[in-house]
Structure 1
Amino acid sequence: MELSLLNLLLVLLSAWVAGSMVTRLGYPAIFGELLAGIILGPPLLGLLDASETLTVLAEVGVLLMMLYIGMEIDPKELFKASWSGFLAAIGGFITPFVLTYLVVVTIFGGTSMAGLFVGIAAGVTSLATKSRILADLNLLDTRIAHVMMAGALVADSLSLIVFAGIISVVDLGTLEVSQLITVGVEVVIFFGVTIFLGLRVFPIAWEWLAKVGLASRTFYATFLLLITLLFAEMAEIAGLHAILGAFLAGLFIREGVGVERRLAGELTELVRDVSIGFLAPIFFVTAGFHVDLNVFVTSLPLLIAVTIVATLGKILGTMVFYLFSGNGWREGIVIGAGMNGRGAVEIIIAEIALSAGIISPEIFSVLVFMAIFTTATVPVFLKWGADWLQSRGELTRSADQRNGLVIVGAGPAARAIAKSLNPIYPVWLIDNNLDRTQQAEAEGLNVVHGDALSYEQLQKTSIANTRWFLALTSNTEINILAAQIARQTFDVPEILVLSTRSEEGTLRRMLSDIRAECVENDLANLTAWDQHSDQNETIHYDEIEVDTPLSMNSFLQQFREKMALFLPLTVTRGDRVLPFLATETLEAGDQVTILRSGDATEQIMA
């Protein structure tokens, strides 16, 4: 088995170029990689060659990619997926599964196995595809996005289990009841053993290895690979496929093996880079080698029928089942349209079925092009659907369902803001300064004495249910790093960072990456207020009505010119009271509450 370095170089180069091109168009890189295999490989130009070495690398790549997918999924969220997400997943899987099976078997005379694999492919939905499109359309914080993500996790997991069951039956070559029972017992044992190892044995083993000084990033990476290979081999022994073992390894590694969260994140990115950046593209390019372009001549009616039925089945099936959520049929249609994209899991299942001789190159080609065509509809359908819901006032964002405020820092300014909002919202302060936290407790405020960069300490503030996150310490770096955790780990909808610098550079780019707002300390005067608070001067509360719309920073600039020291607290808008610093734009009629020092009463108008 000789490795052609030139062929490997050309495969990776073509995968990178084609993947980058389609990504710029808003589609997943795997479609570019597939097209590279189709155009440059045996189906068309024949510039790239298949080889046994590439096949081995591709198989390793798909195992690592399934490991990464498992590591990215929070099993707690998967197992407790919202009722709405579960309904969307079941309707969006069963309906296209059944309809496309019937189309293949009854109308086109295909085999039952071909019908089953087409059905599985039609029921799958691409998590990566939707994530990118939702981000581009600014929909990640909406209810439809959350339902779609939960639905994708359930649907893809269900498809892997159904696929594994079919593979077991194929290996048996018979449907005798006794043998099916044996397979069922083996599958149950497999899941039982993997769950036990993942949640009970490996955490203990890791703790012991850490105590004897063997724990390190390099060792942990090796440990991950060993667990993955063990689970993959166990799946093969149980008559399932190795990809299911790798997927479960990722799930239980994330949940069961104890490791510092930052290191776990680094290792997840390492697995991602090695799999998606190197080995998995080999799999998808070589998968393109097996596509038969004659499908557009010999099986065009089948391709058109499968694509149309898969699309309508996904949308209408999701809508019908989603009615039981109580969120309305219109939202169900939009979610079904968004879940119509297929991707990596479908191609992996189809390639394995082709290699095993279960489906023909014709059916494999139909599945590849069906995935490309249906995914192409997602950005258009989602844009139309989101605009439709928005126009009817039915586009629900997560910020509308979350409440409360977390403030990093417990100085005088932070405590004053907390006290002004505490009667209305749950408000928490977090600070590692013991004197400040004790003062906050004495004032009746909720406070955590701890590091705002600690995931565990932030959890104590009920941040998972928080709408606003204000990082108000005098250290800009700490503020930005805490904001990163709030966005990336807890997905807090609205984040504001106090900046004590005017520089533009890495820190500001970090703010942009996490979509956080920034307020200059020179305008907000928070640190000046903290320094001034010990002088025991008279403090006045003033209510200021805004006459014309203006930005928060413009308001601060105006009042900075009128008075030396003031602290903005809240904005009253109709029957809502909002934190001032989390209000990007002030509207005409808003009432702004401020604190100011000094004995003189000034006439203040905005």
Structure 2
Amino acid sequence: MAGAPVPEFLPEAVVYLGASVVLVPLFVRAKLGAVLGYLAAGILIGPSVLGLVSEPERVLQYAEFGIVLLLFVIGLELQPSRLWAMRRDIFGLGLAQVVLCGLALTVVIFAMTSLSWQAALVVGLPLGLSSTALVMQLLAERGLAGTSFGERSFSILLFQDLAIVPMLTIVGALSRVPDPGAPPGWQVAAMTVAALGGLVLAGRYVLPVVFRIIGSLGAREAFVAAALLSVLGSAYLMASLGLSMALGAFVAGVMLAESPYRHALEADIEPFRGLLLGLFFIAIGMTLDLAVVQGQWLLVLGLVAALMSVKTGMIMVLARVFGKDWLSAFKMGLLLSQGGEFGFVLFAEAQRGLLLAPAAVQLFGAVVTVSMALTPLLFLAASRLQPRTVAGPVQDGPEMALHGDGMEGRAIVVGMGRVGQVVGQMLRARGVEVVGIDLDPQLIEVSQSFGNKVYFGDGRRLDILRAAGANEAGLLVFAVDGAWDPVTTLAPIQAAWPDLPILARAYDRTHWLALRRSGVETAVRETFESGVALGREALATLGTAETMIDQIEDVYRRRDSERLDLQLCSGDNQSGSDRLIRERISFESGALGEIPLVDDEEDDAAAVRA
């Protein structure tokens, strides 16, 4: 019997994953970075070497969604107020870089090739753009994304995304076969502003309501689908207007940056982002035509050297003017010296407009790919010129600074109900900034109305904790209601952050013992102190002297502590039953007499549950 036909995509998927699994760990082990590993995997399986995949352009079409998801996640990390604070770098440094590098490269291309000035312009301007995906991945791998160096680099990249619209307009204006149905430039600009305004309104007023409704239903799959819909919907809106999909996703992310669902969104999007971004770099590697490089290797190397040296020098000078020291400015120049992924889009538009021949498109595509492959190596070499910059604290969302007395300034409280809110207030009184996590949208809204910082998500998930800043936290408090299972929950957390102190709210005595046996440093029974306080009030109401009340409390606490120790050490919850108080305590000369024991199985069973 004939078997079912093999889906067309399956062999290619196996090839992509196999190449990634083999090469990426090798490059990471060699401290060359994952990006270079993905690029090498693409070159190896592409048409120029093994030929296991023959149509890299088709793969690149889908892999570009990795950039879209990357920009959405970056947007989630940037509150609008912080983005506004970066406006000088975005519209000052970014504008200067795009214009000066683009014009300088136009002159270089015109001098080094036989292209007309129009063709040189539509090549030089795109080469002035850098690779957002590559740069942000390198920054993340080296822990620089949250530093001033990383923010300034991102400001340039963000303006480059905005510059795609006017560059497309320039290509269309110079085209030798203009599209009569193409809208004029002013209309494109108006449509861009309107689309961005629509995204801002939807992100601020519509999406939070949608996520609140879905979150209250507890349907995680629907929540993930809504997250992807918000990303792809914003990308589709921009693409339908001929604009950058990544820009639309970034705006949607910024609008959700102050939402309590921010960390849950980031955690759910992250797996898709990582896979698609890796696929994007593989696709870029596959587009490298080694035949072109081999046939014109002197020209290719000359153009790559000119591209990277011009951009490095220009960006270094601009960064120095905007306040960076010379070494940091030089490293920023190297980091942004490559050609970018949008170069492929603009080169294709120039080819359709008869401004570039197919051979020229292949040549400059090879230049972009080679420059992207060289950037991780050059940046790694430059980073060794001084000790690696440690990512400084970013006062955005859960990122916090250290406070005095050597105390960590970040505490994550999982469960912001009655107990969690009390813990949070006491920590804030010490000057510790608290990040709360809860699954109840209504409770989150109420808590936020009192000025608390609470995010939606299951705080027992590693990805949620990581998104909330557990890597830098000094304390993790579980104030969740109910007798949740500490065995399955705590082991992954302790493995991921072995030095992170964990405190927990225990539902009852049995839950307390389970928490302590699972490695929780401190567990507090939620009803113990209130029971003691109520017992004191009951004794006082019966006319008991204050000194006797204190003595009764002391002996009860001592006996209960001894019993807990016996139960914890023996593993038997029935241990220490002889420490229970069963009848009147005799007081003589202020000393506590012996407590008679009564053998009562029902009392023992009830005491175990207490």
CA deviation digits over 1:86-116, x for unaligned, max 9? 6654454444422321122123221334423
**Structure 2 residue 361 is the aligned partner of structure 1 residue 364:** yes
Could you say if the C-alpha distance between residues 231 and 506 of structure 1 is closer, same or farther in structure 2, counting changes exceeding 3 Å?
same
The whole-number CA distance in structure 1 between the counterparts of 2:391 and 2:327 is: 16
Contact 2:67–2:277 (Cα < 8 Å) also in 1: no
Contact 1:169–1:175 (Cα < 8 Å) also in 2: no
Partner of 2:392: 398
Partner of 1:486: 468
* 1:69-148 equivalence runs, <5 A: 69-74=70-75, 76=80, 80-81=85-86, 83-84=88-89, 89-90=94-95, 92-148=97-153
Contact 1:95–1:317 (Cα < 8 Å) also in 2: yes
Could you say if the C-alpha distance between residues 425 and 460 of structure 1 is closer, same or farther in structure 2, counting changes exceeding 3 Å?
farther
CA deviation digits over 1:303-359, x for unaligned, max 9? 122211211122211121112232322221121122234454444444555566543
Could you say if the C-alpha distance between residues 21 and 102 of structure 1 is closer, same or farther in structure 2, counting changes exceeding 3 Å?
farther
* 1:301-450 equivalence runs, <5 A: 301-351=298-348, 353-354=350-351, 358-390=355-387, 395=389, 397-399=391-393, 432-433=417-418, 437=422
* 1:157-176 equivalence runs, <5 A: 157-170=161-174, 173=177
Contact 1:66–1:250 (Cα < 8 Å) also in 2: no
**Structure 2 residue 192 is the aligned partner of structure 1 residue 191:** yes
Could you say if the C-alpha distance between residues 115 and 20 of structure 1 is closer, same or farther in structure 2, counting changes exceeding 3 Å?
farther
Could you say if the C-alpha distance between residues 27 and 100 of structure 1 is closer, same or farther in structure 2, counting changes exceeding 3 Å?
farther
CA deviation digits over 1:114-168, x for unaligned, max 9? 423432443222233234333444444543233223333333x144234322343
Could you say if the C-alpha distance between residues 506 and 342 of structure 1 is closer, same or farther in structure 2, counting changes exceeding 3 Å?
farther
* 1:227-306 equivalence runs, <5 A: 228-233=235-240, 235=241, 241=242, 244-256=243-255, 260-261=261-262, 264-265=265-266, 268-269=269-270, 272=273, 275-276=276-277, 284=284, 287=287, 291=289, 293-297=291-295, 299-306=296-303
CA deviation digits over 1:356-387, x for unaligned, max 9? 65433433333333334333443444344334
Could you say if the C-alpha distance between residues 30 and 169 of structure 1 is closer, same or farther in structure 2, counting changes exceeding 3 Å?
farther
The whole-number CA distance in structure 2 between the counterparts of 1:245 and 1:493 is: 34
CA shift, 1:185, in A, is 1.6
CA deviation digits over 1:526-549, x for unaligned, max 9? 6589999x999xxxxxxxxxxxxx
Could you say if the C-alpha distance between residues 88 and 206 of structure 1 is closer, same or farther in structure 2, counting changes exceeding 3 Å?
closer
Could you say if the C-alpha distance between residues 21 and 147 of structure 1 is closer, same or farther in structure 2, counting changes exceeding 3 Å?
farther
The whole-number CA distance in structure 2 between the counterparts of 1:399 and 1:504 is: 33
For 1:250, give the aligned amino acid: A
Which deviates more from structure 2 when the two are superposed, residues 114-123 or residues 221-230? 221-230
SS in 1 for 2:104: helix
SS in 1 for 2:500: strand
| Aligned match for 2:43, one of 35, 39, 45 | 35
Using the size of structure 2 for normalisation, the TM-score is 0.60
The whole-number CA distance in structure 2 between the counterparts of 1:251 and 1:141 is: 17
Contact 1:34–1:284 (Cα < 8 Å) also in 2: yes
The whole-number CA distance in structure 1 between the counterparts of 2:163 and 2:7 is: 37
The whole-number CA distance in structure 2 between the counterparts of 1:499 and 1:259 is: 19
For 2:187, give the aligned amino acid: E
CA shift, 1:401, in A, is 9.1
Contact 1:33–1:285 (Cα < 8 Å) also in 2: yes
**Structure 2 residue 499 is the aligned partner of structure 1 residue 517:** yes
Which deviates more from structure 2 when the two are superposed, residues 438-447 or residues 133-142? 438-447
Contact 1:341–1:371 (Cα < 8 Å) also in 2: yes
Could you say if the C-alpha distance between residues 219 and 58 of structure 1 is closer, same or farther in structure 2, counting changes exceeding 3 Å?
same
Contact 1:499–1:518 (Cα < 8 Å) also in 2: no
For 1:184, give the aligned amino acid: G
Q: CA RMSD in A?
A: 5.7
Number of residue pairs matched by the alignment: 483
Contact 2:19–2:45 (Cα < 8 Å) also in 1: no
Structure with the largest fraction of strand? 1
CA deviation digits over 1:379-427, x for unaligned, max 9? 4443443343439xxx57414999x9979xxxxxxxxx99x859x9989
The whole-number CA distance in structure 1 between the counterparts of 2:400 and 2:213 is: 39
The whole-number CA distance in structure 2 between the counterparts of 1:345 and 1:312 is: 20
Using the size of structure 1 for normalisation, the TM-score is 0.60
Partner of 1:16: 17
The whole-number CA distance in structure 1 between the counterparts of 2:97 and 2:184 is: 28
The whole-number CA distance in structure 1 between the counterparts of 2:105 and 2:226 is: 47
Contact 2:24–2:38 (Cα < 8 Å) also in 1: no
Higher Cα Rg, which structure: 2
Contact 2:411–2:474 (Cα < 8 Å) also in 1: no
